[in-house]
Amino acid sequence: MRLVCLLILCLSLLARPATAEENIVNIYNWSSYISSDVLKQFTQETGIKVNYTTYDSNETLYAKLKANPHTGYDVIVPSTYFVDRMRQQGMLQALDKSRLPNFKNLNPALLNKPYDPDNHYSIPYFWTSTGVVVNSKLHSVQQLQAWADFWKPRYRNQLLLLDDVHEVFSMALMVLGYSANDTHPEHIRLAYLKLKQLMPNVRLFNNDGVKSLFVDEDLSVGMAWNGDIYQAAQENPALRFIYPKEGFVISIDSMAIPIGASHVNNAYIFINFILRPDIAKKMSLATGYPTPNLAAYKLMPKAILNNPMTYPDKKTLQRSVVQVDVGVAESIYQYYWELLKIGG
């Protein structure tokens, strides 16, 4: 009798419909990079629950997936040079664009880049610019028009720098007149020495709390991503964002499906949802980051499109440099980065 009961129980379990667990999508993204309203709307429209977790650097994302490809994340948002690295290392799934009808909404000017030819592995999410942030109540904006101004003695123990090896080294390389993506070992060493000279002025390395630090005026000058400062300026109008005269880095953060994704179909549904013009517009307005979605761009208020903090003009963009993978030079950057952080 016990055997019969056990058999009936097993059959009933096999006969059950798909579990709620299958109606999930696991997103691993930057913080402050999507509004809760968008996630709520996605669940309301699709019935798919979103598990949303965040990271504060590409290195954290990469290390986690490299250590365990089967983390269960379904959609990730790496930056340009990490898309390149991860696709070459077999960490990303090739995309079936027939499952992404809203792909047509993207700006062709931001597609088919060297880091991912024909966008076989990645879909643009936002593009970002790195520049100087200054509280105009506390500092002269005119005296902070260049990265080189950070080295002035008046900013001792006041600077925020992004906790990102390539953002920080790109700044030093451009101050020295080199490429932001330089791979020459001697140039990287000279950039390290230049940054050592800057360290007395550095108060903090941070990525995640930039907005609150400048809103609360715990810090008043430093390096930041434009969208973070756009958000902060809504609460502290004294904040200004400057595109330094030596040049500045732009990066395209892109959606991708990792090789170990657990809910691939839901990942496609989520990505296609994000590519809708109304959703892309809502996201850009909430975060202050420029949208790569041309259909959404045409719906944006003129006040946003004419705001240089969000959308730098063509003349300014001529000074921009797109981040790329530095290849074997990465180990040199990491060596000097660790040395810099420990005060070596």
Whether 257 and 275 share a structural domain:
yes
Specify the pTM: 0.88
Whether 301 and 319 share a structural domain:
no
Is 11 part of any domain?
A: no
pLDDT digits (tens, 9 = 90+) for 57-88: 999 999 999 999 999 999 999 999 999 999 99
pLDDT band at 208 (very low <50, low <70, confident <90, very high): confident
Whether 276 and 298 share a structural domain:
yes
Structure tokens at 200: 């007395």
Structure tokens at 99: 């499952």
For position 121, which CATH number holds? Answer: 3.40.190.10
Rounded to whole angstroms, the Cα distance separating 228 from 31 reads 10
Is 244 part of any domain?
A: yes
User: What's the whole-number mean pLDDT along residues 322-339?
Assistant: 95
pLDDT at 133: 98
Rounded to whole angstroms, the Cα distance separating 319 from 100 reads 33
Whether 188 and 331 share a structural domain:
yes
Is 325 part of any domain?
A: yes
Rounded to whole angstroms, the Cα distance separating 131 from 309 reads 10
Whether 164 and 244 share a structural domain:
yes
pLDDT at 201: 98
Whether 336 and 240 share a structural domain:
yes
User: Structural domain of residue 228, as residue ranges?
Assistant: 129-248+315-341
pLDDT digits (tens, 9 = 90+) for 211-234: 999 999 999 999 999 999 999 999
pLDDT band at 344 (very low <50, low <70, confident <90, very high): low
Whether 177 and 226 share a structural domain:
yes
Count the domains in the chain.
2
Whether 184 and 322 share a structural domain:
yes
- Return the percentage of the chain with pLDDT > 90, whole number: 90
Is residue 7's pLDDT more than 80?
Answer: no
Local structure of residue 128 (DSSP, 8 states): E
Is 265 part of any domain?
A: yes
Structure tokens at 92: 């990303």
